[in-house]
Amino acid sequence: MVTCALVILAILAALLVVLSIYPGEFSWVSTRANRWLYDRGAATYEDKWQRHDYGAYAAIIADAAQSLEHEERPLQVLDLACGTGRATLFAAQYLPPTTRFTAVDYSRGMLEVFQSSVARSSRLDASDITWVECELAAWLDQCEQSFDLVLFMEAAEFVPGFSQLPAKIHSVCAPGAQLVMTRPAGLWGWMFPGRHQTRRALAACLGSAGFAQVRFVPWRSRYELLTAHR
Ligand SMILES: C[S@@+](CC[C@H](N)C(=O)[O-])C[C@H]1O[C@@H](n2cnc3c(N)ncnc32)[C@H](O)[C@@H]1O
């Protein structure tokens, strides 16, 4: 009996340690839990990921941003599940200063860190960005704007009912728009039961939503990058 209690305590303690070190890793438990974890982990989120090489992540965003045709109107960029704004901050380096950004995330903590980074940025001004604190599928359902570049980085695996999401994203893409996103790769993908996507399944899902030219780019062991065009 005592041994059993000790084993249960040890398992609970181990779970707590993992959760405190890796906010987000168990986020498939529920969207509510995910949001809570990101709110709690927001202040240290950037430090946690600093150890990874974001060169390929930045490069694929730079390529997409530089290939957009500049028209008379300002370009519109959408950062879905923007977190602390890493993708927007990279993209802004390669886009004209007239570009407008919309950043959606349901974690207020993550949005606040993003807002602080923009306050320190010489490239972006808070007036260039519309921040939206909302669950992204719900936001996409009521969005009436269209975007030239959609960034959806390190987040697809957290969204329940992911297979319906590409069609929602496609519906807010302007003709010729580009989508840049990540796919959880390798064993990491299996951390998200029911949301794991093989390359082939994801390409098919994007294709049936109306995206073309799906191109995968290897990155780090947990994620690979991809681009697609409307
Ligand atoms: C791993 S972080 C990635 C942040 C950012 N895109 C980046 O590349 O650094 C995942 C983000 O997705 C957000 N998120 C997860 N599921 C979401 C949902 N269903 N609706 C809105 N935001 C969501 C979390 O709050 C978190 O900020």
How many residues does this entry show for the chain? 230
Distance CA 84, CA 125 (A): 15
Distance CA 26, CA 84 (A): 19
The reply to whether 115 and 31 lie within a common domain is: no
* Residue found under tokens 């320190």: 120
Q: What is the reported pTM?
A: 0.87
- Among 39, 61, 136, which residue has the most ligand 1 atoms within 8 Å of its CB, making it the best to mutate? 136
Contacts of 111 (CB under 8 A, 6+ apart): 82, 103, 105, 131, 133
**In this structure, is residue 68 part of a structural domain?**
yes
The reply to whether 67 and 122 lie within a common domain is: yes
Q: What are phi and psi of 109, to 5 degrees?
A: -60, -45
pLDDT tens sequence across 44-67:
888 776 678 899 999 999 999 999
Q: Whose CA is nearest to atom 13 of ligand 1?
A: 81
The reply to whether 38 and 76 lie within a common domain is: no
**In this structure, is residue 49 part of a structural domain?**
no
Domain that holds residue 20: 2-43
Average pLDDT over residues 208-222: 93
Nearest to 152 by CA among 24, 44, 36, 61: 61
- 224 CA distance to ligand 1 centroid (A)? 16
Average pLDDT over residues 203-208: 95
- Strand, helix or coil at 226? strand
**In this structure, is residue 213 part of a structural domain?**
yes
Distance CA 28, CA 174 (A): 31
